[in-house]
Every structure is written in structure tokens, then in C-alpha cells.
Amino acid sequence: MNDQKATAIKEFTPTAPMTPPTARTAADSRTPKPIAAAEVPSPESVAAELVPDSARLSAMIDAIAEVSDPSPGVTRLAWTRTERRAHDLVAGWYRALGLKVWIDAVGNTIAELPGNRPAALGTGSHLDSVPAGGRFDGIAGVIAGVEVARLLVENGVRLEHSVRFVAFTAEEGARFGQACLGSKAVAGMLEESKLWSLRDADGISVAEAMQRVGLDPGRLAEARWAPRDWVAFLELHVEQGGVLEAAGLPIGIVDLVSGSTRVAVEVRGRATHTGSTPMALRADALTAAAEIVLMAEAIANDPRHRGTRASIGVLQVEPGSITTIPGRTTFTLDVRDVDSDRQRGTVTEIVRRAKEICDRRRVAMTVRPIGDSSPVVLPIWLRQTIADVCAEADLPYRVLTSGASHDCQMVNRVVPAALIFVPSQGGLSHVPEEWTSAADLAVGTRVLLHGLLRIDRRLMELERAAARTGEESDEQH
Ligand code: GLV
Ligand code: MN
Ligand code: MN
């Protein structure tokens, strides 16, 4: 354990200054004095009795998993009545704790524990799922927030900053193709036109889906967060990969979140009889698509694309008859990378080569963009704060990148954000088998709670230091 910890901490070599921004209430042109680490009170000494209850965390996971459309695992797609029921459930838990709760214009649920300062620390994740998905993706971060709120409320602990607990809507791109729509809305990264142009498999637009669950797409702008209202945001999430489990580590601290570029491809050939059409006279839309799929895989596997992931997750074949040559195929392409140039360059290369394949096979092709998010580097001072919390609690951790998209990636546009991972058994995610133990959830929740406490105190220390510097310079004049 100690060896692992030493390795993990050694890996976390700061490459940039680790100073959090001066608390916004003290923002001015003066440079705050650096605070010695010893002056920062230990969160453990403030609240050693704040221990997350793993049974309660499990019970919340189970209760939310019950809110699902009929399917293997969990199906709770964005802006469905089912997803809204999960939001109602979580809102009810926060209300029962006495927190003020509101639903923003796009359907994100926000609960607030007021502090002495209006600018808030935030935490949260999402409540929607992919079709036939797991019960932990997104939910882990939401229920960790509820448990943090319960511990603070029941123990009478108040932070200097307000704490806002957020359950985002529509993080999964599963229904509308584009991920993190709820968090993009708060970050001001979602244009109103997208609400009308993005459609699900039944042709329903985001705007129509919102209207069907009582939300007004015309109010999109109201969901936007103002940077002055926030100081930092922490998201807890399951890793969705196998790095932590393989290394036997309870915590991951994410430095870089992958971006994703998604397109929909349509290949049009000629549907006709499978028996009477010679091989040389076919324009088969499926064999062309198959060659494109393998070409995309080969490009991502090419050593110069180290780290690129290219996936075709949806493929439809028409007319879908055993005796008719496929006349039309439609499929999605999702390219993810931690390098933004390589991400976009890979898509361009796949599309160019796909066109060549289609020309050679005498089929037509059209490509429609669905979504595009850049990779994001998360701020090092927040990562270091989480690392400090882990070191103090003797919890080994590893710094790692995230291959999946996350709400904090968008939130980081408006407020500095951090991402804490807990292990996923077998590295499985987006499937019913997705699993994280209650004990691991409890450890992650503890790190989240103490991360919030620590940031609260560090920002107050900085604010006091800034005030002292101001007084000293006033005296000198
Ligand atoms: C979100 O789960 C993603 O697909 O990255
Ligand atoms: Mn997720
Ligand atoms: Mn997901």
C-alpha cells in the first residue's frame, strides 16, 4: 500500500503553479501571500466524524436503478419521463435534508446548502443512462453528493462557501448523439439551434423532448452559470476502465478528459435481388460500410494515432431482407482523443478514405456532423488539492486520463473543475454488469467531502492573506 502510494505521489509531479485563484470576493489586483501548507487546517481535524455510510450509498444506487424503462440493466434516456422521475427522487432527498432545490431551464436539478458567501463550491454528475446501461455511471457522483449533504446537515457543519449539489440531465450522448447537453447548457456551450437540429432515432428533437417533460427550450439561456457565482466544482465518477482495479488503487485523479467528434454517415447503393444480381454488378451499401468500419479501426490502430479511439456503435441496414442486397446503410462514427488536432484530423482522414471506398464501390456517401467536444486539461491546483486529501487520509491514488466525456469537462469552462474516479469492476461500463463496490463508493465520497472542505478552507486562507497584504500596503502609504 505504502509503495503504491509513493509511486502514485511521485507520478503526480506538478508541472505548473498549484495556486488556486484568489477567492472571488477578494479579487483585486494584489497578489496574495503564499500560504504555507502547515497553515492550512486539516479537513480531518475539522470533521473526523464525517464518515460516509456505504449502506446508504448502496440503497440510493438501488433506488435510482429502480427508475428505469424495461430493459436489461438500466435505461433512463435524456429528457424522458423516466429520467425526470430520477430527478424528482433525488430532489426529494435534498428537500428532506432541508436544502433549497430548483430545476433549471434545461432540467438540471440543483440543491443548495448556503454558506457565508454566495459563491459556491459545486459537486455532482448525471442521472441519465445509455440504453441497457449500468447503475453507477453518473449516479455514483449524484448519490455521493447526497451523502455529503447529509453528513454536513446532520453534523451541523457549514462551509464558508455555499455548496451546490447538481444532478445534470442528458450527459449521455446516447439519445441525441451529443454528450453533456445539460452541462454544456450551464457552461454556455449549447446553442439554441442545436435544440431543434439534434434528433433522436424517432426524429424527436431535443426541444420537443424538453417540451414533452414540461421544459421550455426557449429559456435555454437562463440555465447558464455566471463564473462569479462559483469557486470550484468536483465530480466523482466511476472510472469505466480497468486501470484502478488492476493497480489495486481506490482513487484516480483525472488530469485530462478526452474530446469526441461524432458524425452520422449514410451510404446509398442499389437494393436489388440477391440471387439474380451478379457480384460484379452490385452497389452494396453494407459491404461499403463494412470496409469503412474496418478502415476506421485500422487508422485508430496505426501507431501514429496512439491513443485515438474510433468506434461505430450504431449501424442500420435497409431494407433488411435476407434476399435483398442492402441499398442503404447509416452508421455513426465516434472518434475520441486527448489530442484535439489528432481527434479532428482522424475524422477528416476517415471521411476522405471512406469517400474513396464509396467511389470505388460505386455507392454514394453523405456525412453529417453530430457533435464535437474538445479534450480538456483539468486545473492542476484542484488536482493537487485532491491529491493532498488522499495523502492525508493515507489513500493511494493514480493520476490518469479519462477516455469518456464528463460533465466537469464542460463545467470547467465556467468554474475550475476536478474529476475523481473510483474503480469499476472488470473495467466494464455502459452495460448492465457495470459495478463499483459500496466500500469503494464510500472511499470516493470521503475524498469528495474532504476535497470540498479543503478547498473551502484554502480559499478562505487566501482571502485572508490577500486582506492582510492589502492592510500592510495601506499602512505603508
Ligand atoms: C459518456 O458516457 C461518454 O460516452 O463519454
Ligand atoms: Mn457518466
Ligand atoms: Mn456514460
Measure Cα distances from 314 to 196, 204, 310 in Å.
22, 18, 13
The mean pLDDT of the chain is 90
Q: Which of 405, 419, 424, 428 to mutate to test the pocket of ligand 1 (most atoms within 8 A of CB)?
A: 405
The ligand that comes nearest to the alpha carbon of residue 237 is 2
Q: Would the pLDDT of 43 be above 60?
A: no
| Site to substitute for ligand 1 among 76, 406, 428, most atoms within 8 A of C-beta | 406
Residue type, 267: V
Decide which of 228 and 20 is more confident: 228
The C-alpha cell of 1 is what? 500500500
Atom of ligand 1 nearest to the CA of 336: 5
CB 332 within 8 A of CB 313: yes
With 90 as the cut, is the pLDDT of residue 202 above it? yes
Check pLDDT > 50 for residue 329. Answer: yes
Ligand 1 center–CA 233 separation, angstroms: 19
Percent of all residues in the chain with a pLDDT value above 70, rounded to a whole number: 90
Q: Is the pLDDT of residue 87 over 70?
A: yes
Give the mean model confidence (pLDDT) for residues 450-462.
95
User: Distance from the CA of 115 to the center of ligand 1, in angstroms?
Assistant: 33
- Each residue's pLDDT tens digit, 337-382: 999 999 999 999 999 999 999 999 999 999 999 999 999 999 999 9
Answer whether 404 contacts ligand 1 (Cβ < 6 A). yes
pLDDT at 48: 67
Q: Which of 136, 139, 172, 257 to mutate to test the pocket of ligand 1 (most atoms within 8 A of CB)?
A: 172
Residues in the 5 Å CB sphere of ion ligand 2: 137-138
Q: Which residues of 126-148 are buried (b: 16+ CB within 10 A; e: fewer)?
A: bbbbbbbbbbbbbbbbbbbbbbb
DSSP state of 266: E
Q: Is 31's pLDDT higher than 50?
A: no
Q: Is the CB of 409 under 6 A from ligand 1?
A: no
pLDDT greater at residue 31 or residue 394: 394
Ligand 1 atom closest to residue 403's alpha carbon, by position in its atom list:
5
Domains of the chain: 2-257+375-473 (3.40.630.10), 259-372 (3.30.70.360)
> For position 38, what pLDDT does the model report?
39
**Which CA distances in Å does 260 have to 96, 179, 219, 311, 402?**
38, 9, 27, 11, 12
| Mean pLDDT across 213-229 | 98
State the pLDDT at residue 97: 98
Report the nearest-CA residue for atom 2 of ligand 1: 172
Cell digits for 326? Answer: 442492402
Does residue 35 carry a pLDDT above 80?
Answer: no
Q: Specify the pTM.
A: 0.87
- C-alpha separations of 297 from 302, 311, 333, 368, 370 in Å: 9, 7, 11, 20, 20
Ligand closest to Cα of 403 equals 1
The answer to whether the CB of 288 falls within 8 A of the CB of 361 is yes
Question: Is residue 72 pLDDT above 90, yes or no?
Answer: yes
Residue 467: exposed, middle, or buried by beta-carbon count in 10 A (0-12, 13-18, 19+)? middle
Q: What average pLDDT score do residues 106-119 get?
A: 95
Q: Is the pLDDT of residue 17 over 80?
A: no
Please work out whether the CB of residue 405 comes within 6 Å of at least one atom of ligand 1: yes
Q: How far is the CA of 111 from the centre of ligand 1 (A)?
A: 24
Q: What is the pLDDT of residues 401-426, one digit of tens each?
A: 999 999 999 999 999 999 999 999 99
Lowest mean pLDDT among 278-292, 299-313, 389-403: 299-313
Instruction: Give the number of the ligand closest to the Cα of residue 138.
Output: 2
Residue 44 predicted with pLDDT over 80: no
Least confident of 7-21, 158-172, 240-254, 450-464: 7-21
Which atom of ligand 1 is nearest the CA belonging to 130? 2
Contact criterion met (CB below 8 Å) for 53 and 132: no
Distance 171 CA to ligand 2 centre (A): 7
The Cα angle at residue 267 between residues 264 and 273, in degrees rounded to 5: 145
Any idea which of 136-150, 422-436, 456-470 has the lowest mean pLDDT? 456-470
Residue with cell 434516456: 77
Distances in Å between the alpha carbon of 422 and those of 141, 350, 429? 10, 34, 13
Ligand 1 atom at minimal distance to the Cα of residue 334: 4
Residue pair 427/242 in contact (Cβ under 8 Å)? The answer is: yes
pLDDT, position 120? 98
Average pLDDT over every residue of 287-297: 98
Dihedral (CA of 45, 49, 54, 56) sign: negative
For the Cβ of 172 lying below 6 angstroms from any atom of ligand 1, the answer is yes
